[in-house]
Amino acid sequence: MAFITKKRVVLFCLFILPLILYIVLSTGINNFAKLPVVTENVQNISVLKNAQNQTLSKKISILCFTGSDAEAAKGRLFNINQKIYKPFYGFKDFQMIAIYPKEIEKEILEIKKDLEVFTDMKSWIFIPAEGPAIESYFSSLNTNDSLDNYGSQLAYIVDKELGLRGRTDDEDIANGKLFGYNMNSVAELNNKMKDDVKIVLAEYRLALKKNNAERQI
């Protein structure tokens, strides 16, 4: 046991252990199943007139388009609030964004009041816009979806580099390509979107750990 000396233990902790940690983290990151980027270079939200102080850059964002039917929007927003916003709003840089036509601002304010009763709204952002501006912004997502009265039943995940995340092998879609998640379906939010948001969050946590390990070596 003379081989295991205090000096050798100290040297191991200072030099060998950080190297092993780095190798383990690097291997984990390289083998980690990432959520595909299905559209690159989504327009930043700040292009909208009433969102000039907002940004998608360096944020993990969930985008919703309410449309002109406030009653339908209310059901969808309540679903995504419960299944996606509440589990993740405490994470740094996570935000939920709802873009709505200006003509239903009164109804949106009522929806916000209802949400505030049982939700911490610190990471909820509501942005009013003119119809054509909503259409123009939505087109930058470059999906195979379309808006109906400036709204969609789908919610979208945008990463910190303005990449739209989704699936390329979804078993429920003919070509396998899933751009957005159906807010009318609690099952889809719970079984697909929640898992995919977890993957994106894990990607950034692992990348942060790798960067920290590299700085320590």
Residue type, 143: T
Residue range 186-196: average pLDDT?
A: 97
For the segment 131-153, what is each residue's pLDDT rounded down to a tens digit?
999 999 999 999 999 999 999 99
Decide if 199 contacts 34 (C-beta within 8 A). yes
Whole-number Å distance between alpha carbons of 163 and 40:
5
Question: What confidence category does residue 25 fall into, taking pLDDT thresholds of 50, 70 and 90?
Answer: very low
Residue range 37-58: average pLDDT?
A: 96
**Residue of 109, 95, 108, 101 whose CA lies nearest to 44:** 95
Q: What is the pTM of this model?
A: 0.82
Q: What is the pLDDT of residue 205?
A: 85
Question: What confidence category does residue 22 fall into, taking pLDDT thresholds of 50, 70 and 90?
Answer: very low
Token pair recorded at residue 57: 């850059």
Architecture of the domain whose range is 37-199:
3-Layer(aba) Sandwich (3.40)
- Whether the pLDDT of residue 188 is over 60: the answer is yes
**Residue of 35, 86, 42, 91 whose CA lies nearest to 63:** 42
Q: What is the pLDDT of residue 30?
A: 39
Whole-number Å distance between alpha carbons of 95 and 63:
9
